[in-house]
C-alpha cells in the first residue's frame, strides 16, 4: 500500500510537471541559450505582461489560424517593448481587478490593459508616459436610447461598470446612481440586456463594438467630459522599477513619433470587426 | 431572448480544449487529494495527540474557508514567501488541498464504519496494528468509500471553474473568452453549462456501473 501510494504520487507529479509545461498556449516557447557557441551577446530575458483580455480593441482573444490568440493594440505595444528590450514576451491573461495584485507580487513585470494612471493607483504602482487618449461611451438599451441625451439623464439610474476601472470612478460622481460593478464586460452586457442596469459606462471603442454585435443595445448620445490627465491610458510597472519604466517610455516615445500607435488602433479595430 | 449559436462553428475547439483542461485539473486534484486525504485520515485516527491535532486543524481550516479565497492565497499570497507558482500548478495545489480535506473525512468515516471486531480478529491472529489496518480494514473501507470518492470528483469538476480567476484556460475561462470575442454574453455560458453537465453526468453513470460491479 505504501509503495503503491508513493508510486502513484511520483507518477502524478511527473505527469503534472509535463502538463505544466504546455498549459499556456499563448506563451512562446522557452528560449534556448546556446552559451557554448554564442559570443557574449545580450542575454535573452522574458518580459511578462499582465492584461485582462476582454477589452476589444485594447486587448482581446481572437481565433487566428484555428489558434486562440490574444491580440489588440495594447498587445502590439507590448511586443514592441519586448523587442526593444530584446526580451521574450509572455502574456498572462487574468481578471482586471487581479492585475495590480499580480504586479505587486511579481507575477507579471508590467500591466497594459487600458489602464488610466489615477492618483489612487499611483500610490501603489508606477506609470509610464500616456500612450493613448480615450473617450467614454454609454451603452443603453436601443428602445430606451431616447431617454439618454446628457450626463444628467444618468442621475438616479442603475449603472453598470467594470470593477476597479476608471469608469467606476466616473459613475461614483453621478448623483444618486446605483452602481453594479462586475469583473467582466460580457457580464455587464447581460445585466443591461436583462434590464438590471439602465446603462453601462465603458471605453468608447469597446462600447461601439458591442453596439454593432448586439441588435438590442446602442451607444447613447451622452458625452462624458474628462480632463486630459484622466482620459489617458498608460503602462504600469511595480513601484520603484525605474529601469523598466525608462525602457517602456523609450518605446512609447518611438511609437508616438512614428505614428505607429494610431496605426495599431486602426488595425485592432479592423481585427475586431472581422 | 434570441439565441444565436453561429459562433460554435469557429469556436468549438476552444470549448473542447477548456473542457480538457478542466478534466486535467480535476483529475490531478482528486488523485493527489486522495493520497493526501488518506494521510490526513490516518493522522486523525492516530493515538498520538499532536498528530491528531495537526490533522484536525488542517481539515477544519480548509473546510471552513471558501475555495475562492484559498485560490487567491495560494496564487498571489505565497509569492510573499518567495513561492511563485505558475497558474496551472496553483490551480492543482488549490484543488488538491481542498479535496484532501474532504477526502480525509470520507476516509475517516469509511475506516470507522468497519466493525471493530475485524480489527480485533486480525490482532488476535497476531497482526500488528499497522498490518491490521493495511490488510484488513483499509481494503474493506475503500470499497465502501468509492461512491463518496466519485462524488468528490464531481464536486471538484464543478469547483474547478473557480480557478478561472487566476487565468487558467479551463472551460469557464474559455467560455468567458468566447463571450468577449463574439460580443455575445449568454450563449457561451449555456455551452459551458452543457459541457460541465456532460462531464459530471458521464462520471456519475460510470460510478453507478462501478458500484454495481463491486457489489456483485
pLDDT at A89 over 60: yes
Residue A28 has pLDDT above 50, yes or no: no
The C-alpha cell at B78 is: 505565497
- Edge-to-edge order in the sheet of strand A54-55: A54-55, A59-64, A67-71
What average pLDDT does the segment A180-203 reach? 91
Q: Which of A160, A152, A38, A53 is nearest to A96 (CA)?
A: A53
Residue A44: predicted pLDDT: 66
Average pLDDT, chain B: 92
Closest by Cβ to A190, choosing from B21, B168, B185: B185
Residues 6+ apart with CB under 8 A from B87: A23, A24, A92, B75, B166, B167, B168
In angstroms, the CA B35 to CA A207 distance is: 50
- Given a contact cutoff of 8 angstroms between Cβ atoms, the answer to whether A238 and A125 are in contact is yes
Please list every residue in chain A whose beta carbon sits closer than 8 Å to the beta carbon of residue B28. Answer: 12, 15-16, 19
Cβ burial of A162 (10 Å; 0-12, 13-18, 19+) is: buried
Q: Which residues, including other chains, have CB under 8 Å from residue A168's CB and lie 6 or more apart?
A: A161, A162, A179, A181
What 3-state class would DSSP assign to A152?
Answer: helix
Q: What are phi and psi of A181, to 5 degrees?
A: -110, 115
* CB neighbour list of residue A257: distance below 8 Å, 6 or more residues apart: none
- Residue positions counted in chain A: 274
CA–CA separation, A60 vs A234, rounded Å?
A: 17
Contacts of A59 in chain B (CB under 8 A): none
- The 8-class DSSP code of residue A137 comes to E
Among A51-55, A230-234, B149-153, B181-185, the least confident range? B181-185
pLDDT confidence of residue A10? 60
pLDDT digits (tens, 9 = 90+) for B101-126: 999 999 999 999 999 999 999 999 99
Say yes or no for a CB contact (<8 Å) between B86 and A23: yes
For residue A240, what are the contacts with CB-CB under 8 A and spacing of at least 6? A126
Apex CA A96: angle with CA B154 and CA A197, to 5°? 85
CB B158 within 8 A of CB B196: yes
Helices and strands (DSSP H and E) totals, chain B? 9, 0
Half-sphere exposure of B211 (CA within 13 A, CB side): 14
Tell whether the model's pLDDT for residue A42 goes beyond 70.
no
Query: How many A×B Cβ pairs under 8 Å?
Result: 111
Looking at the complex, does the CB of residue B168 fall below 8 Å from at least one CB of chain A?
yes
Residue A16 has pLDDT above 90, yes or no: no
Task: Please give the Cα distance from A102 to A115 (Å, whole number).
Answer: 14
Instruction: Determine the number of helices (DSSP H) and then strands (DSSP E) in chain A.
Output: 10, 15
Q: Which residue has the cell 484536525?
A: B56
pLDDT at site A8 = 55
The minimal CB distance from A12 to the residues B32, B84, B166 is found for B32
Out of A5-19, A94-108, B76-90, least confident range: A5-19
Q: Under 8 Å CB-to-CB from A154, ≥6 apart: which residues?
A: A138, A148, A174, A177, A198, A199, A222
Q: Which residue in this structure is represented by grid cell 509610464?
A: A128
Given a cut of 80, whether residue A150 has pLDDT beyond it is yes
Give the containing element (helix H, strand E) for A262: helix A260-273
Upstream peptide bond of A57 is cis (omega within 30 degrees of 0) = yes
pLDDT, tens digit, 9 for 90 and up, residues B6-54: 889 888 999 999 999 999 999 999 999 999 999 999 999 888 999 999 9
Please give the Cα distance from B115 to B71 (Å, whole number). Answer: 39
Contact B88 A62 (CB under 8 A): no
Residue A1 pLDDT greater than 60, yes or no: no
Identify all chain B residues contacting A53, using CB atoms and an 8 Å cutoff. 177, 180
Residue of A nearest to B90 (CA): A20
- Chain B nearest C-alpha distance from A266 (Å): 17
Tell if the CB–CB gap between B180 and A54 is shorter than 8 Å. Answer: yes
Q: CB neighbours (10 Å) of residue A56?
A: 28
Strands A125-127 and A236-238: antiparallel
Is it the case that residue A26 has pLDDT exceeding 50?
no
For all residues of chain A together, what is the average pLDDT?
85
Label the pairing between strands A67-71 and A59-64: antiparallel
Amino acid at each position: 500500500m505504501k509503495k503503491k501510494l508513493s508510486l502513484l504520487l511520483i507518477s502524478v507529479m511527473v505527469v503534472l510537471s509535463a502538463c505544466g509545461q504546455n498549459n499556456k498556449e499563448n506563451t512562446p516557447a522557452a528560449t534556448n541559450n546556446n552559451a557554448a557557441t554564442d559570443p557574449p551577446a545580450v542575454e535573452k530575458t522574458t518580459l511578462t505582461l499582465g492584461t485582462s483580455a476582454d477589452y476589444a480593441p485594447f486587448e482581446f482573444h481572437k481565433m487566428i489560424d484555428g489558434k486562440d490568440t490574444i491580440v489588440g493594440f495594447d498587445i502590439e505595444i507590448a511586443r514592441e517593448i519586448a523587442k526593444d528590450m530584446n526580451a521574450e514576451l509572455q502574456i498572462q491573461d487574468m481578471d482586471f481587478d487581479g492585475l495590480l495584485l499580480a504586479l505587486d507580487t511579481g507575477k507579471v513585470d508590467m500591466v497594459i490593459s487600458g489602464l488610466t494612471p489615477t492618483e489612487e493607483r499611483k500610490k501603489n504602482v508606477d506609470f509610464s508616459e500616456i500612450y493613448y487618449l480615450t473617450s467614454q461611451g454609454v451603452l443603453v438599451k436601443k428602445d430606451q436610447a431616447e431617454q439618454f441625451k446628457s450626463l444628467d439623464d444618468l442621475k438616479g439610474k442603475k449603472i453598470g461598470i467594470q470593477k476597479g476601472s476608471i469608469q467606476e470612478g466616473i459613475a461614483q460622481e453621478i448623483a444618486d446612481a446605483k452602481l453594479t460593478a462586475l469583473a467582466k464586460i460580457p457580464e455587464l452586457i447581460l445585466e443591461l440586456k436583462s434590464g438590471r442596469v439602465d446603462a453601462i459606462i465603458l471605453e468608447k471603442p469597446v462600447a461601439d463594438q458591442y453596439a454593432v454585435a448586439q441588435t438590442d443595445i446602442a451607444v447613447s448620445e451622452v458625452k462624458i467630459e474628462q480632463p486630459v490627465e484622466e482620459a489617458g491610458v498608460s503602462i504600469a510597472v511595480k513601484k520603484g522599477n525605474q529601469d523598466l519604466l525608462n525602457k517602456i517610455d523609450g518605446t512609447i516615445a518611438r511609437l508616438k513619433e512614428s505614428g505607429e500607435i494610431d496605426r495599431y488602433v486602426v488595425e485592432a479595430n479592423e481585427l475586431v470587426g472581422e | 431572448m434570441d439565441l444565436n449559436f453561429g459562433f460554435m462553428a469557429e469556436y468549438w475547439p476552444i470549448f473542447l480544449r477548456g473542457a480538457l483542461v478542466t478534466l486535467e485539473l480535476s483529475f490531478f486534484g482528486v488523485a493527489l487529494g486522495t493520497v493526501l486525504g488518506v494521510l490526513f485520515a490516518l493522522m486523525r485516527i492516530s493515538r498520538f495527540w499532536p498528530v491528531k491535532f495537526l490533522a484536525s486543524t488542517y481539515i477544519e481550516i480548509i473546510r471552513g474557508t471558501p475555495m475562492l479565497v484559498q485560490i487567491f492565497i495560494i496564487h498571489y499570497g505565497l509569492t510573499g514567501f518567495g513561492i511563485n507558482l505558475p497558474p496551472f500548478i496553483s490551480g492543482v495545489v488549490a484543488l488538491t488541498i481542498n479535496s484532501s480535506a474532504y477526502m480525509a473525512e470520507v476516509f475517516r468515516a469509511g475506516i470507522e464504519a468497519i466493525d471493530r471486531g475485524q480489527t480485533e480478529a486480525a490482532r488476535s491472529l497476531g497482526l500488528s496494528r499497522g498490518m491490521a489496518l493495511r490488510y484488513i480494514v483499509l481494503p474493506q473501507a475503500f470499497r465502501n468509500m468509492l461512491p463518496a470518492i466519485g462524488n468528490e470528483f464531481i464536486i471538484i469538476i464543478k469547483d474547478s471553474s473557480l480557478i478561472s480567476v487566476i487565468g487558467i484556460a479551463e472551460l469557464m475561462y474559455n467560455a468567458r473568452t468566447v463571450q468577449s470575442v463574439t460580443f455575445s454574453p449568454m450563449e457561451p455560458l449555456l455551452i459551458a453549462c452543457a459541457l460541465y453537465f456532460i462531464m459530471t453526468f458521464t462520471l456519475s453513470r460510470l460510478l453507478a456501473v462501478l458500484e454495481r460491479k463491486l457489489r456483485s
